[in-house]
Chains A and B, each alone.
Chain A
Amino acid sequence: MHVVSPIREKLVLNGKSYHDITEDISRHVEAKPTKEWKVAFGISVLVLLYGTAWVCWTWWEGLGVWGLNKTVGWAWDITNFVWWVGIGHAGTLISAVLLLFRQKWRTSINRAAEAMTIFAVICAASFIVMHMGRPWLAYFALPLPNTFGSLWVNFNSPLVWDVFAISTYFSVSCLFWYIGMIPDLATIRDRATGMRKKVYGALAIGWTGGAKSWARYEDISLILAGLSTPLVLSVHTIVSFDFATSVIPGWHTTIFPPYFVAGAIFSGFAMVQNLMLVTRVVYKLEDYVTLDHISLMNKIITLTGSVVGIAYITEFFIAAYSGVEYEKYAFINRATGPLWWSYAAMMTCNVLSPQLFWFESIRRNIVVSFVMAVVVNIGMWFERFVIIVTSLHRDYLPSSWTYFTPRLGDISDYIFSFGFFFTAFFLFSKFLPVINMAEVKSVLKSSSEKYPEKIKKKA
């Protein structure tokens, strides 16, 4: 039988030239901010100010402004932390893992995804500090030499592992993002004049565009990709240890590491989807972020959504199979107890809704994709809420069972992280190239280039 390989679709549409790419991307960095940008940025800054005021108030007054109680010691704070860290994972996955697998379609989204990672990790870190009763002593959690004798951090504590995991992840992500941006910064430098030339020049740290530079650039990208790939798995694994190593029914679960990683990729892709769908419209980058991209992302969302769905069901099976009455009750309570609605929200958003993407028409529908990405992130927020709160609020001794009701402090401190995230993202999208020009140029011409249009259409 005669087998014909599938024809590779063009990754950049409408016959863009190398120069077009430079123009399309650099235009936004060089032009005056658009009205839309100003409005969006203004709103983000207002949200950030409101959130900052509440964060300051939380620090001043104490964590009592949240809705936590003697039984539920974590709720929105750690939910938000895990949620943001999870979102961050997509950036690393796209830039590192997909680089290693030579997935060329990643080139037009990896820059924004990495930026998102960094901002998301900062948001996550802010909740680590915020949730402390005495955040001004946060440095106690670092293994610093000190004058207290042999006083050290507790290396048995998953929270200490978190500190290492998150800080490693953050520094590697920053490095990856920045190094990947150097050629583009140089491009902008070369087109700029005056003060801007100096700033972008400094940021481009003397990039010449010589063959040697490119060779080294490729090498370092591969090395960093190799370094980051285990991080994609390890960071959320360690975050899941916060729960998995405890004794609380519903937390003490060995399935958590893979389940958390899948969930992280799931929510991260959804967030990237959201951001890219907005950016491609606002910056008119439809030729770079194509329907194929959106469709591919949706496939990954469906896959990872199904993985977490299986994990949810497995948890129930294990709880029943274990014969442990606390474990059994924890899961029955999760689905049917006073917080059943959060479980229902999680199941609907995460497991059921992505199944719609089995239909190609839905997968390629921009509006549905956008809405679905929002739904997925709502679902993933509820997943963490379900794990944390429904396990805690009814654990071993029924005398201590309580309910959790959020207060304005919980909500406003969560809003703070959105304010920060979007303010940072808008600043990034204005002052730095949102698409990796250099790498997109490298995928402009593909091997299926020369086929006539009609054959391609068939394929």
Chain B
Amino acid sequence: MENTNKRYWKGVEELKNDIEFVKNANREFNLDDIDTVEPTHRRDFLKVLGFGLAAVSLAACDAPVRKAIPYLNKPEDVEPGIANWYASTYAEGGDYSSILVKTREGRPIKIEGNKMSSLTKGGVSARVHASVLSLYDNEKLKEPQKGGSKISWADLDKEVVAGLSKGGNIRIVSNTILSPTFKKVIADFITKYPTAKHITYDANSVSGLIQANSESFGQAVVPSYDFGKAKVMVGINADFLGTWIAPDVFAAQWAETRRLSSSKSGGKNEMSRHFQFETGMTITGASSDYRSMIKPSQEGAVVVALYNKVAAALGGTPISGPAIEIQNLDKCAKELAAAKGAALVVSGSNNPAIQTVVNALNSLLGSYGTTIDLGNPVNFRQGNDADMNAFINEVKGGQVSSVIFLSNPVYDHIRGAELGEALGRVATSVSFAANADETAAKCKYIAPAPHYLESWGDAEPKKGFYSLMQPTISLIYNTRQAESSLLIWAGGSGDYQAYLKSSWKSILNGGKSWVQALHDGVYEPGASVVASGASFAGNLANAATAIASIKGSGIELSAFENISIGTGTQANNPWLQEMPDPISKVTWENTIAISQKTATEVGIDQGDWAKLTVGGKTIELPVLIQPGQAHNTVSVAIGYGRTAAGKAGNVGANVLPLVSNGQYWASDVKLEKTKSGYTLAQTQTHNTVMGREAVIQESVLSEYVKNVKAGRFEPKLQTSEGFKKPGQITLWNGHEKKNHSWGMVIDLNLCHGCGSCLVSCQAENNIPVVGKAEVARAREMHWIRLDRYYSSDAPHEEGYSPAGFRAMEIASENPDVVFQPMMCQHCSNAPCETVCPVLATTHSSEGLNQMTYNRCIGTRYCANNCPYKVRRFNWFKYFENDNFDYNMNNDLGRMVLNPDVTVRSRGVIEKCSMCVQRIQLGKLEAKKQKRRPVDGEIQTACSQSCPTNAIVFGDMLDPESQISKTLAVEKEGRAFHVLEEINVQPQMTYLTKIRNKEGAPKTETKPSEHASGAHS
């Protein structure tokens, strides 16, 4: 039968029966050497099998792989792996920052400053950085509540409106509201309910300042200050670099007056002079040139004395006041008078009389119109103490039928306890709190408002300076903005976004489009307004009389606001709780800060707990010996002692009820030791630098003017060929850096210790929180720390006397302070790299010392051999571990993690990577555009967040970069490497600290030659 199947050829070769082809016809791959491959023998098979088994069993020891699931329907604007940035606004009470929010796959994960804001200029404080974590607090309310049980929004609205409609007095209680549109909403609400009244108060009130301005100038405002124009500045219990009114703005201005340059052509060797009179040690006092210790009761007397001395010099009318002897007072007055027109005196007092004298003093000094601008006031801290007092009295008298809380006065007002007890008398009470805080828990209804990163809003921090807030994530829980709730209760639609947009029509007034404003985040029609002067018209005599009546006795208590916790609104934020106080380095609680002398007199010491009693009210706290604390005073931070903040926040004790006069201080404090043997969770326990000039190098301005290398310590090593620099004798081969050489320059003169870099780094690099017990064991994980050193009165021990060294460990009563940000120095001759047995830490070709977490077996040899002690070990598994029940232990909290940075497993070492993920991103972006990275385009988390630009990051091989220019100038000036003599060649350079002080620096410079001793 004929074969009907067609025949196909693989090619012409087959058709032609080519010999080569026939030979290879059955071989799929035509490889020449295929015949030479031996067939698999039994032994080979066993070898492979054995290896396979071994490999599989070893591989099985590792952690399981978790899969990331891609979007099913990808949102239009979201590219996985690429961050989206949104401009927004942080406004928590009177605290304000114009910010950019980094979102990844729809999650806000990082906050940076918005440089378009001419007000905050990209400055972001530690609290603002940490606020992104508060968004993911899983203890927040998940829906509205009535009496502790769930209620629907519709029912809540119905019941609240019914309550409001019954008539009677309605009160809306809030902290300072910066939002003009929110104020409009409240106005609408008051129109609907005419019996309603808005009460504003602040836990950190400057009510006295506003009242004084009203009396002195007829303007009840907080003026804007310009420290940048001041040649002589004086702070009297005003922590203006840390917590007073607008610290980030002030710090940036202050820093510009402290910046120096050793350039031979056009260097800058002028600095402002900063006097500080304060009770407890603050970062402002620590950064000042002359710091004097005063009791809180002496504030008025100091101000009056200063006024009288300046008046004597400048021809003003003297006023009567108590005589007072305070260090530096005469000098301060003399220099203020000399700097007339470029002087600024600020007081943190909440007493209108004291502020009136300050106003008169500033007026005498010609500060109005130069360093103080009353015409363009700021809207921070508009709280009115009198209003709030009246409101509490009303509630106690049963005269209020409905109250709506936007804040937490039961906790953060001095009369909070009274208010809390009386709240039961209010028929309808509503709180907008995000969690059942102290006030909300006592309210009938809680209408939880979302976090600001989920909200629409705006702010007007200063007259003519606007900014917008936009949601960066859709609502996490069933919450509703307070503005919407008020609009609905006032009979409106509740669409606050639309309301905001229409309200902004009048604000923008054609100046900018809505979309543009939303994109920029800021709109500043008031930016070009010049400062206006004012003439003082207050009653000085009355003020003097009032001041004369201030009497303090016994040990005085000062309640102050600290940097991390502030007024306690974000107390449940573990990043902030674990952020060490810049001065005391205490975490997780507040303390009774007391000078050693007073402590000895009272019979308490560090390690004890003490009962602190004022007027029958008592709190119990651990004792902290604080150098620089005025004698016979104690300082206690507010913001602690929350009882309903949450797992992380209910720590410490609330001092506010003890300072019931509204002046944040009290006299006749009784201290009683209750227990001892307690270890404070401090991240630094040794206070002095032990005269080590290779660590801290400092001088005074008068020396610096003569010699830009003043204070520099240049070690020389004796060799057979004479003295040599440590870098000249070396066994190291060095590392070639062909392309980039990343590094940082840190100016010790500008670092004021605010700690913004620390929290920014924590957010960027997924640094775990370890809790109080572990911090007390010295196991905190922060990659950057702010070393704080106090000066000591003891002479530099040159000999071999143990007593001499022990004396150097004791800080002065009122020490000079220096802050030194310390992170991995990325040594070119890195001691850590040579000792790692498994090459888990190696050097990159760009000067980075890098960690390979997967390779690390955790011998900790690198950490031991690190001269800077910047390496951190994962003692435990810090995520998904109930012993560390912070954000990394719940799904919501883990949403804040940066997907570009590995979460480290237990048992590995970690440390500052110089934000290598950002460097890579920047390089890739530049590469995509076929160019080299531009200076400033890549920023590390710390350098980006530094409000004073004390940290400059960049490529030292790029001659045009700021860091290269600075180094070129300062190489023969202030630039030094810490521990230069051990020749590790860090990529980090520090610039000497120069104080604008007279006389020689506190430590004598000794001959810098060393006989030997470099480990090179």
Contacts and interface: CB of A to CB of B under 8 A. Distances in A.
Interface of A: 61-64, 67-71, 73-74, 131-141, 147, 151-154, 156-160, 163, 242, 245-248, 252, 320-329, 332-333, 335-336, 392, 394-403
B908 A133 contact: yes
Nearest to B864: A73
Given A322-B1012, A392-B864, A70 B835 contact: no
B218 interface: no
Interface stretch (B19-27, B465-473, B775-783): B775-783
B805 A333 contact: yes
Interface in B824-863: 831, 834-839, 855-861, 863
A399 B857 contact: no
A139 B1010 CA distance: 43
B692 interface: yes
A152 to B, nearest CB: 7
B85 interface: no
B685 A401 contact: yes
A138 B907 CA distance: 12
B45 interface: no
A403 to B, nearest CB: 8
B906 interface: yes
B857 A141 contact: yes
A191 B688 CA distance: 74
B873 A246 contact: no
Given A64-B876, A69-B778, 15 more contacts: A62-B876, A62-B907, A71-B778, A74-B860, A138-B857, A242-B861, A252-B1015, A392-B864, A395-B869, A396-B692, A397-B869, A397-B979, A398-B688, A400-B686, A400-B869
A268 to B, nearest CB: 25
Contacts of B909: 133
A242 B877 CA distance: 28
A70 B692 contact: no
A404 B872 CA distance: 16
Interface in B504-545: none
Contact of B873 (A70, A137, A402): A70
B690 interface: yes
Contact of B778 (A328, A335, A402): A402
A320 B865 CA distance: 22
27 contacts: A62-B907, A63-B875, A69-B777, A70-B780, A133-B856, A133-B858, A134-B906, A139-B58, A140-B838, A140-B857, A154-B836, A157-B861, A159-B859, A159-B861, A242-B861, A248-B865, A321-B1011, A323-B1010, A324-B1011, A325-B691, A335-B802, A394-B686, A395-B869, A399-B686, A399-B788, A399-B789, A400-B686
A320 B858 CA distance: 35
A260 B657 CA distance: 62
A353 B81 CA distance: 68
A157 B836 contact: yes
Contacts of A245: 834-835
B29 interface: no
A154 to B, nearest CB: 5
B685 A132 contact: no
Contacts, number: 194
A157 B835 CA distance: 4
Contact of A74 (B777, B806, B864): B864
B785 interface: yes
A326 B867 CA distance: 11
B153 to A, nearest CB: 46
A210 B477 CA distance: 89
Nearest to A320: B800
Contact of A399 (B55, B787, B1011): B787
B806 to A, nearest CB: 8
B959 interface: no
A150 to B, nearest CB: 10
Nearest to A134: B907
A132 B789 contact: no
A225 B858 CA distance: 36
Nearest to A340: B802
Nearest to A61: B876
Contact of B1011 (A137, A157, A322, A403): A322
B839 A154 contact: yes
B982 interface: yes
Nearest to B863: A73
A62 B770 CA distance: 14
Given A68-B875, A73-B863, A324-B1010, A163 B837 contact: yes
Interface in B774-820: 774, 777-780, 785, 787-789, 800, 802, 805-806, 820
B714 to A, nearest CB: 15
A396 to B, nearest CB: 5
A73 B836 CA distance: 14
B915 interface: no
Interface string B859-900: 111011101110111111100000000000000000000000
Contacts of B399: none
Contact of A402 (B685, B857, B907, B1012): B685
A332 B805 contact: yes
Contact of A322 (B834, B836, B863, B1013): B1013
A240 to B, nearest CB: 14
B838 A67 contact: no
A206 B905 CA distance: 53
A156 B834 contact: yes
B689 interface: yes
Nearest to B1010: A323
A321 B873 CA distance: 36
B643 interface: no
B769 to A, nearest CB: 14
Contact of B787 (A63, A329, A335, A397): A397
B875 A136 contact: no
A133 B907 contact: yes
A399 B819 CA distance: 11
Contacts of B979: 396-397
A424 to B, nearest CB: 26
Interface in B984-1013: 984, 1010-1013
Contacts of A70: 778-780, 863, 869, 871-873
Contacts of A74: 860-861, 864
A153 B802 CA distance: 43
Nearest to B691: A325
Contacts of B868: 396-397, 400
B857 A134 contact: yes
A248 B800 CA distance: 20
A288 B901 CA distance: 67
B957 interface: no
A137 B857 contact: yes
A396 B867 contact: yes
B68 interface: no
A152 B785 CA distance: 34
B966 interface: no
Contact of A329 (B788, B805, B978, B1015): B805
A62 B692 contact: no
Contact of B1015 (A152, A154, A247, A392): A247
A43 B857 CA distance: 34
A328 B61 CA distance: 47
